[in-house]
Amino acid sequence: MRFARSKRALRLKTIDSCFQDLKDSRLMEETYTVDEVSDMLDGLQVLVRGEVEMELINTAHTNVLLLRQLFSQAEKFYLRLQTDISELENRELLEQVAEFEKTDFKANSKVNQESSKPKLAPLNEGGVSELLQKEISRLQEDNDKLKARLRTLESQAMSALDDKSKAERALKDLQKSQGDQQSAIHAQESTNLEGTVAAMQADFEKTLNANVASQKDLQNCLVSAKHDLLHVQEQLSLAEKELEKKFQQTAAYRNMKEILTKKNEQIKDLRKRLQRYESDE
């Protein structure tokens, strides 16, 4: 009964841990929708159902192993045991067992003191009684070892549950701090990007203004060059006229002009003659 009670207490702690995990992991807001509450209750139902089912299965299997041990020992001593399944649902006997469990655990210290007192040995020390006594002693030793191991396992399980809760809290804190760090990093990156864009825009404006100024300078230079070109062309035209005038005043030009005039007259005379000959024919 102590073994079953310890297992039951451990399973109840596990169920309490399920509810606590739900509170710590899901109940983060003040209001929830019906679908969210239904989803949380469904998940909790699955966990609690699994824990209760596991406990019931474990209890049934433990009882099977206990009965198997008893029957195996009875077979060694050629005893025939019989069971009445209907007595397992006897409410009066079940209440007596529950009352015995309560009184047993309340008077645990008193029972331990009485169990330490020496007990009378049976009158018949030989044969089956001696074997039964040895087997009972061995079972008691095994039971004590199992109790000690059970207490160790319970302490380890409780420590593991505490470590699990601490690890989950630490993980939540780490996730929260990482989220804050990521937000700060994103904000810094956004600020740096905005500064870079502003600097690029300022450089672009400076370059554009410089290009506009250089374009204006080029236009002014082009206009000035056009004016200079027109002035040079005008001077060149005047120089050509002046040169032609001077050339016409030279003796060579006058001689060439007289020769050309004579040649032209000769050509005219020849054409007249040619026309005359053609008309005579």
50-76 residue pLDDT tens: 888 888 888 888 888 988 888 888 888
pLDDT at residue 230, as a whole number: 86
pLDDT at residue 11, as a whole number: 83
- Higher pLDDT residue, 146 or 31? 146
Most confident of 11-15, 119-123, 184-188, 241-245: 11-15
pLDDT at residue 180, as a whole number: 76
CA dist list (Å): 115 to 2, 109, 110, 111, 118? 16, 10, 9, 6, 8
Q: State percent of the chain over pLDDT 70.
A: 90
pLDDT at residue 281, as a whole number: 60
Q: Is the pLDDT of residue 117 over 60?
A: no
pLDDT at residue 122, as a whole number: 46
What residues contact residue 93 under an 8 Å CB cut-off, 6+ apart?
87
pLDDT at residue 110, as a whole number: 56
Average pLDDT for the chain: 80
Residue 121 corresponds to which tokens in the numbers above? 């040995």
Average pLDDT value for residue range 189-206:
84
Q: State percent of the chain over pLDDT 90.
A: 0
Average pLDDT value for residue range 41-45:
86
Among 228, 154, 168, 147, CA closest to 21:
168
pLDDT at residue 124, as a whole number: 46
pLDDT at residue 36, as a whole number: 83
CA distance 40 to 58: 27
Q: Is the pLDDT of residue 112 over 80?
A: no
Q: How would DSSP label each residue in 154-187? A: HHHHHHHHHHHHHHHHHHHHHHHHHHHHHHHHHH
Q: Is the pLDDT of residue 42 over 80?
A: yes
Residue 119 corresponds to which tokens in the numbers above? 């007990």
pLDDT at residue 129, as a whole number: 61
Q: Is the pLDDT of residue 188 over 70?
A: yes
Q: How confident is the model at residue 80 (pLDDT cuts 50, 70, 90)?
A: confident
pLDDT at residue 123, as a whole number: 43
pLDDT at residue 125, as a whole number: 44
CA dist list (Å): 82 to 67, 78, 92? 11, 13, 21
Average pLDDT value for residue range 218-245:
83
Are 46 and 25 contacting, i.e. CB atoms less than 8 angstroms apart? no
Whole-model pTM over 0.85 = no
Q: Is the pLDDT of residue 197 over 60?
A: yes
Per-residue pLDDT reduced to its tens digit, 162-183: 888 888 888 888 888 777 777 7
